[in-house]
Structure 1
């Protein structure tokens, strides 16, 4: 419960001060084992503190303490839900980064899994960071495990060898400290299984004193190094073959399992096969034949394929049955039972885009290490993604506004939220431009001041 935001809303809506303090006291007592007098004292202090910020004289600061408001909520536009809205906002984030006068080999403008900088002529550093799945707050070990695995994957698919993990954890004021330990243990399980050390991190509260409850949020980052050119999506060529490894899911499938009562599926997600496969491929003799790699996560193969279309201008032709055959049978059965589109959720497979001449040797390399892999499609010149079923019928595969709804609440929200996507895009464009302009003004101010 964000009591700071509650108080701000009450002030902006001109609610009675006494009524606001009384309600705040009740909220605080719901979470805290304190006396009514102590709760009231806290409520009055919170009210006065928030009121001070609302009355803050910002005349000399310009827009420094303001942000470009869109009046469009994260959920309303589908941000974080791995669909069109999410991809669009990420493209605007990339635009802000592109405006920055710094250099990199791969950055968010390519919508790739990790970012890459060149340190020397043939030496590259790759970084990635993944946030924990928002619905795994009460299952910190699994949150840590799957986030660590995800960020290592993002480094590996860029052709790098991971060398270090870093951790960030924010736990709300009433959160049990044991969650921190369990979360860290989950990360360290992946660390031990892959031989990549956890070297640093940060531990803080969510919103300090102003957010009550037990909510856990956090992220795990990874750093890798390579002497090879990054396996970015942009390196795909027309005529390439698309391979896919078996997908048993990660954080998304675990969440689906928990909130739909399929606990037996959770164990299927506990492996590091993806990282093993990536390491094998990064040591493959003919690196020039492996053009691009990505993990099938962001909105499933539907979302990832369409992002490749945008990045490369090339098309993709997929085979539905081949994809289905490479999804872990227990995971696939659960998705079928729940009527969840397997093409629209993260199944955590590795997609490998390669020259046709190396398909058999790469397949053999992976299968010898007990990693299932198969051909699921090819790169074409159409600029779009098409999928073919077992009867030979072909249809256009277009990204949805959100990833496939995989929890009961997502299925309901999918029927409630209505938005004018095109109109909201214009508002978001304006907001992103305002953020760029603000950054440019501040950079100039600091440069001029300290010349």
Structure 2
């Protein structure tokens, strides 16, 4: 429970309708004390003291609106879109989520900082090129790179699946895999892992260790070290409960340019490795009672496949790679087509064969669209003359892979269904609903989505303006 947010909301309501401020404060104090005692084993007197402190702190921060410092007031005032996260589908890996991520990319792009692959590409990881220059004449370098050679640095970060907060080991295991996948699909070899954990005030410290052990399991399996991290409480003293939120980042290096989506070309072959899912499929299994499916997801075949391409020196010949995660194949096909302007043709029957049988059976039983959910396959876009070499390389490490389609110049992503009919692949407003609560929320696009887009755009534009003003102010001060 976010007690600071609770107090802010109640004060706002009271300011609108209250006639007697002291009575309202007393009422809020008692309500909050009652909420605190639901989580804390403390006396009523201490709960009231805690409630009074929170109310006082929140009220003090609200007083900044009375300040004469107009610029500071502008900085601390959020440029609201008047659209809630859930309403927009942020984090639900559909059309609404993709839109918000494009707006975030616009803010990043406004800095005019250069990189090879940045959030504008809506790709899996970001890439910068950095020259390596050795001051010594010693040629016995063991870093894998020649003197004065460019090295491509790839970074990626992923957050734990929110429904795995109660299962920290599984959450840590799968978010580590996800982050490493995002580095691998850019053609880089993972070299380091970083971890960030936030656990709410009433969470058992054991959750921190359990999560870290999950990350460490992946680290040990693929021999990539965990090198740094951070551990904090969610909201400090202001959030009660035991919710865990966290993120894992990965760093990779490559001697070749990234295999970003934008490099796909008409005539390329689309290959797909067998996918058994990660955090999303684990969540689906846990919350729908398919517990045996959890074990299907506990593997490192994705990383084995991408590392095989690095080992066999095929990364330089592959045009693009991505993991089938955000919004499933529907989302990936849409993003590749949007980025490149090209079309993609897929074969449904072959795709279904590349989903782990137990996972596919669960999805079909629960009426979940396999094309709209993360199956964690490695999708490779390569020239026709390279495709056979890629298949041979990946099969050599025991990972299944198949030809599932082609890239063309139609500009439309589509799938040839088992009955021979053709369907245009478009992302849903949210990814395929895979829990009961998600099915209740639904996947359909809101009727006022165009209005929502305008509000989101305005909020993003206002954030850029604020950033520009602050940067200009600091430059002038210096």
Residue 117 of structure 1: aligned partner: 128
Secondary structure of 2:442's match? helix
Q: Residues 170 and 38 (structure 1 numbering): CA distance in 2 closer, same or farther, change over 3 Å?
A: same
Q: Relative to structure 1, is the Cα distance of residues 19 and 201 closer, same or farther in structure 2, using a 3 angstrom cutoff?
A: same
Structure 1 distance, partners of 2:374, 2:444, is 23
Tell whether 2:271 aligns with 1:243: yes
Partners of 1:164 and 1:290 lie apart in 2 by 24
Q: 2:339 aligns with which of 296, 303, 311?
A: 311
The alignment status of 1:85 with 2:96, answered yes or no, reads yes
Alignment of 1:255-270 (within 5 A): 255-270=283-298
1:341 is the counterpart of 2:369: yes
Structure 1 range deviating more: 11-20 or 438-447: 11-20
Give unpaired runs (5+ residues) of structure 2.
Answer: 19-23, 132-148
Does 266-275 or 410-419 show the bigger shift? Answer: 410-419
- Between the aligned partners of 2:264 and 2:367, the Cα distance in structure 1 is 33
- Residue pair 1:76, 1:419 contacting (<8 A) in 2 also: no
- For residues 364 and 116 of structure 1, the distance between their equivalents in structure 2, rounded to whole angstroms, comes to 28
Structure 1: unaligned runs, 5 residues or longer: none
Please give the residue correspondences for 1:34-433 in structure 2 after superposition, counting only pairs within 5 Å: 34-56=42-64, 57-60=66-69, 61-120=72-131, 122-414=150-442, 418=446, 420-433=448-461
CA RMSD of the aligned region, Å? 1.2
CA shift at 1:447, angstroms? 0.7
C-alpha distance in 2 between matches for 1:337 and 1:301? 19
Structure 1: distance between partners of 2:299 and 2:423: 34
CA distance in 2, matches of 1:153, 1:224: 10
Which region of structure 1 is more displaced relative to structure 2, 321-330 or 274-283? 274-283
Give the distance between the partners of 1:449 and 1:335, measured in 2 at CA.
Answer: 58
May I ask how many residue pairs the two structures share in their alignment? 450
In structure 2, the residue matched to 1:17 is: 25
Q: Secondary structure at the match of 2:129?
A: strand
The TM-score, its normalising length taken from structure 1, stands at: 0.98
1:5 is matched with which residue? 5
Q: Distance in 1 between matches of 2:172 and 2:461?
A: 35
Which 4+ stretches in 1 moved above 4 angstroms?
Answer: 415-419
1:29 aligned to which of 18, 37, 40? 37
Q: Deviations over 1:333-370 (max 9, x none)?
A: 00000000000000000000001012222112211211
- When structure 1 is superposed on structure 2, of 247-256 and 9-18 the one drifting more is 9-18
The normalised TM-score by structure 2 is: 0.92
Matches of 2:275 and 2:205 in 1, distance apart?
33
Q: CA deviation at 1:58?
A: 4.0
Shift of 1:417: 8.8
Q: Is the 8 A contact 1:132 1:218 kept in 2?
A: yes
In structure 2, relative to structure 1, the CA distance for the partners of 1:310 and 1:8 (3 Å cut) is same
Q: Residue 103 of structure 1 aligns to a residue in which SS? A: coil
Cα deviation, 1:130-189, whole Å, max 9, x if unaligned, reads: 000000000000000000011001001101111100000000000010000000000000
How many Å separate the matches in 2 of 1:337 and 1:218?
31
Supply the distance in 2 between the matched residues of 1:49 and 1:231 (Cα, whole angstroms): 50
Note if contact 2:324-2:377 (Cα within 8 Å) is conserved in structure 1: yes
- The question of whether the paired residues in 1 share the 8 Å contact of 2:314 and 2:390 is answered with no
